[in-house]
């Protein structure tokens, strides 16, 4: 295969899938699952057999980002949440879409392990014979005409040595990624991905019982990124709340979800029907309340109720403002 052709095949394959789904009217939650399962599956297949040329990862991220927020691969809609905040696992506040850069390093680690262990495959024998001339992998220095893959593997070796401070420590670290005699890419990925602190609120949102599109709206609300009127950044636009038509929508979804007179009546009804002792007046404390309630009555039903309520209040607000 000619150099430069494979990224085109990979990108065309991903764009092809997105174009096929473009008319399917999928929710954000549905698109997230397709990115995770299909698009990152295509990417993983190619990354595991060939090195990634510069710029290809950025193009794939752009395709996935466009698809998540606009439903199309070439429509560049302003993202509600930055991509770097989407890639952490759900428990750290993200959506668990894999970080391509870290995943690429995890797959390269597997290649690196195969080469240093001199595993008995034709390809590894060929690398040792042609490039390394049977030199010790840990002492091998790259040469100008080495293949891009060898250059990437050695650069990764140096990166891990720099972090772990010695070659022995690097070898020890890599041994921790072994499972059943093979390097496990998922364990390596955990090493390379950016880490954040674990949060309590994602446990309330992401339960098996929650409807995915409700959970996604709940997640956007926790990130304070729902497109309520105060966030539309249009100075000339009418800021009046569409539900009560008496007050303006205020920052952090405060009015639409909690302060609005109309919404308070809805919450009071929910309070009676769901037998919730009290209703809180901001998104973070309501999440804490659901969490405490869940400890008594179990997560599924409490978080399902909360996600459902937020989703319907938001839909009601946006439909009324568009006079739907």
State the first-to-last Cα distance of the chain, in angstroms, to the nearest integer.
53
CB of 316 to Zn ion, least distance (A): 11
Closest among 88, 87, 47 to 64, alpha carbons compared: 87
User: Both tokens of residue 238?
Assistant: 């009418």
Count residues binding Zn ion (CB under 5 A): 4
Per the listing, tokens 């698809």 go with 67
Output 187 or 240, the one with its CB closest to Zn ion: 240
Q: C-alpha angle 291/294/300, rounded to 5°? A: 110
Output 187 or 244, the one with its CB closest to Zn ion: 244
DSSP reduced 3-state for 92: helix
Output 111 or 242, the one with its CB closest to Zn ion: 242
CB of 243 to Zn ion, least distance (A): 5
The pattern of x and - marking residues 162 through 201 that bind Zn ion according to CB under 5 A reads ----------------------------------------
Q: C-alpha angle 159/126/52, rounded to 5°? A: 45
The pattern of x and - marking residues 204 through 243 that bind Zn ion according to CB under 5 A reads -------------------------------------x-x
Whether the Cβ atoms of residue 306 and residue 204 lie closer than 8 Å to each other: yes
Whether the Cβ atoms of residue 107 and residue 44 lie closer than 8 Å to each other: yes
Output 18 or 241, the one with its CB closest to Zn ion: 241
Output 65 or 253, the one with its CB closest to Zn ion: 253
CB of 315 to Zn ion, least distance (A): 15
Whether the Cβ atoms of residue 41 and residue 85 lie closer than 8 Å to each other: no
CB of 282 to Zn ion, least distance (A): 15
Output 17 or 257, the one with its CB closest to Zn ion: 257
CB of 220 to Zn ion, least distance (A): 19
Whether the Cβ atoms of residue 100 and residue 57 lie closer than 8 Å to each other: yes
Q: Which of 260, 283, 289, 313 binds Zn ion (CB under 5 A)?
A: 260
CB of 308 to Zn ion, least distance (A): 20
CB of 244 to Zn ion, least distance (A): 3
The pattern of x and - marking residues 238 through 257 that bind Zn ion according to CB under 5 A reads ---x-xx-------------
DSSP reduced 3-state for 257: helix
Per the listing, tokens 């710029």 go with 55
Q: What is the DSSP letter of 23?
A: G
Integer Cα distance of 133 and 142 in angstroms: 12
Query: Is residue 47 at the binding interface for Zn ion, with CB under 5 A as the rule?
Result: no
Output 101 or 264, the one with its CB closest to Zn ion: 264
Phi, psi dihedrals of residue 13, rounded to the nearest 5°: -60, -45
Residues in contact with Zn ion by the rule CB under 5 A: 241, 243-244, 260
């Amino acid at each position: 295969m000619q150099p430069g052709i494979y990224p085109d095949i990979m990108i065309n394959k991903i764009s092809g899938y997105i174009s096929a789904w473009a008319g399917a009217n999928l929710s954000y939650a549905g698109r997230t699952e397709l990115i995770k399962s299909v698009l990152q599956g295509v990417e993983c297949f190619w990354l595991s057999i060939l090195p990634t040329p510069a710029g290809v990862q950025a193009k794939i991220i752009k395709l996935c980002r466009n698809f998540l927020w606009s439903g199309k691969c070439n429509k560049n809609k302003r993202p509600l949440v930055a991509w770097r905040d989407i890639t952490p696992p759900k428990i750290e506040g993200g959506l668990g879409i894999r970080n391509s850069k870290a995943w690429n390093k995890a797959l390269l680690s597997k290649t690196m392990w195969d080469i240093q262990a001199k595993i008995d495959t034709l390809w590894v024998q060929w690398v040792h014979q042609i490039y390394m001339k049977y030199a010790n992998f840990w002492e091998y220095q790259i040469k100008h005409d080495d293949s891009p893959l060898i250059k990437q593997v050695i650069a990764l070796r140096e990166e891990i040595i720099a972090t772990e401070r010695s070659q022995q420590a690097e070898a020890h670290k890599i041994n921790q990624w072994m499972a059943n005699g093979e390097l496990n890419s998922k364990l390596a990925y955990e090493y390379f991905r950016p880490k954040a602190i674990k949060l309590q609120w994602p446990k309330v949102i992401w339960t098996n019982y929650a409807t995915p599109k409700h959970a996604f709206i709940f997640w956007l609300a926790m990130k304070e990124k729902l497109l309520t009127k105060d966030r539309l950044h249009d100075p000339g636009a009418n800021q009046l709340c569409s539900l009560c038509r008496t007050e303006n929508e205020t920052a952090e979804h405060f009015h639409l979800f909690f302060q609005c007179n109309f919404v308070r009546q809805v919450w009071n009804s929910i309070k009676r029907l769901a037998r919730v002792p009290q209703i809180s007046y901001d998104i973070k404390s309501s999440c804490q309340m659901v969490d405490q309630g869940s400890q008594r009555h179990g997560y599924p039903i409490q978080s399902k109720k909360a996600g459902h309520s937020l989703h319907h209040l938001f839909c009601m607000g946006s439909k009324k403002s568009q006079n739907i």
